[in-house]
Chains A and B, each alone.
Chain A
Amino acid sequence: MYPNVNQAEQFKNVAEPWVLYDSLVICPSDGMKGSEQNTTGFYTTYSTFGQQQKHTFFKSRTEGMVGLEYTNMQSADSMDFAMEVYSIGLAFVAPGVRVQGEISAGDITSIDAGVNHWFDTELPRHCSISLKINQDILCELPAMQCSPGYGMTGGGASFAHNAYQLGVDSNYLPVMNFTCTQGAPYIKNRFQFTKRDEQTGEIVPNPIKIPRTASVEMILELSDTAMAQLQSFNGPYNYISNNSNGSAIVAYPQRSIVQASMAGKRLVQQRAQYHR
């Protein structure tokens, strides 16, 4: 309370729904934009990503550094506002166009049809995720249990071409497209912080309360298996397709993401202007 100020005029925090998110990115160097290549958590190969056992979220990147598409943190290492976190989620996202390849002079020189699928469906099995507020670890989970609650859904995968000769120099262009999420992408399907109400016995939300300026981290830890496997891969490579008149194969770098999110309410100053 401020002295000599009416209670009605006191500053007041209001709770505003908010999601904090942050991303690690793996993308060939010619797909990195601006200063992304020098940003902590942006890797140009699976191998360099796999050389580090622990990767952190909410400690290194800001919206100004990598764009709102990958994080909405304003400060790299502390909370700008108090927040009640109701749920957390972790998404492993490789391109749904499963085939990635390299080209040279308009011809395919290498193809990989397995790593993208491994990234989404197996790598999460070999990782853990922890939530740390200041010095306290408040949650530890197998990564696959921390469903993001969002993502693409659909079905199926198959090679879309037979061995019919297509493309340049009789290379045929293999295509396999797939849609995948860890857990059904149902918005409530995230790891929720709950407790049992002592009076009613029902399960009710029990958010983690994070003070302003607290240090927050979600820590992704890779197992030895995951590290070894990532270090054995040569990519990532590119989307590949025929060019506009079928005379050559063209390519564009593919980008994989690991994205952590915390959803809840942030406490901010009332904006003091809305009245219907």
Chain B
Amino acid sequence: MNMPKNVLEQWSLYDTVLLRHYAGAGVNIPNVPGWFMGANPWGDCGAANDIAFFNVRNRNVGLPYNNQDARDQMPYPMKIRSIGVAMWQVHQTLDMYYNPASPYDDICPHIWMVDLPRHMSLILKVQQDERFKTIVPLCPPGYGPCGDGYGRGQPSVAVGPTNTPKDNHYSLATQGVPDSNTRWTFPTDIDVPRRAALSVKIRFSEYARDLLTWMGTLNADTFNADGDVHSWEAGIQVTLGGDRLVQQRGQYHA
């Protein structure tokens, strides 16, 4: 019989919320729903009630950030096997270039990647059912840079516009061992029907929201060795791993 047949195909769905501080004039700032791109990304993030994934954006924001075909419903059934949340900040944490007109910040990236996740919760909803409610650290992403070390990067050599010593330091952190098996894996798959509404909401505790607001008041910029100003970016990325059911392609079998 020539009946259409769905087959299981391994698939990952991902969506990203970015916080970006744009430095410099004349920069074209994209208008993406749910991203924090204003003058105070930390503060705006802290002011949000919650941060939504999988029901706000689609792949038009850029495939590095989202691979959904539709914003608000599933175009195919999916069996969700695992979930992960990655938080990152620029790893070259901000320069300690002392200049009263251009202040620096040494702690916000570390707070974002290491401390704030401890004060965040996550709810996975399929249609109206909350299928998984937990804390963000229990959902490590299973990927991320892996390395070691943190320290001052430069000796006290006079560089820069005003010949004052400049120091960089680098912070490398990942939520959980960055091994692909280190994700929250559901003992039984969560079945999501086609056309279902799927969402993940991440929430900060009130303490964390006020901490983000405070971070927003520090107003830090990033410099490189030439004194040029660079924008910085922080992100939260949620990934759902599993299998999707699609029409058999009818031509390729390994």
Contacts and interface: CB of A to CB of B under 8 A. Distances in A.
Contact of B103 (A17, A152, A242, A276): A242
A150 B183 CA distance: 9
Contacts of A157: 150
Nearest to B186: A17
Contacts, number: 211
Interface residues of A, number: 66
Interface in B173-227: 173-179, 181-188, 191-194, 203-208, 210-211, 214-215, 217-219
Contacts of A96: 110-111, 114-115, 173
A164 B245 CA distance: 61
A242 B114 contact: no
A48 B183 CA distance: 36
A158 interface: yes
A174 to B, nearest CB: 9
Classify chain B: how many residues form its interface, as a range: 35 or more
A179 B140 contact: no
A261 B99 CA distance: 46
A255 B175 CA distance: 18
A152 B167 CA distance: 25
A131 B150 CA distance: 38
Interface string B150-190: 11100010000000010101011111111101111111100
A49 B245 CA distance: 52
Contacts of A152: 113-114, 117, 137, 173-176
B98 interface: yes
A17 B205 contact: no
A187 B167 contact: no
Contacts of B132: 17
A150 B167 contact: no
Interface string A167-189: 00000010101110000111110
B104 interface: yes
A161 B206 contact: no
B107 interface: yes
A32 B103 CA distance: 29
Interface of A: 15-17, 19, 21, 27, 31-34, 67-70, 72, 91, 93, 95-97, 150-162, 164, 166, 173, 175, 177-179, 184-188, 239, 241-247, 250, 252-253, 255, 257, 259, 261, 265, 271, 273-276
Interface of B: 6, 77, 93, 96, 98-101, 103-108, 110-111, 113-115, 117-121, 123, 126-127, 129, 131-135, 137-138, 140, 147-152, 156, 165, 167, 169, 171-179, 181-188, 191-194, 203-208, 210-211, 214-215, 217-219, 245
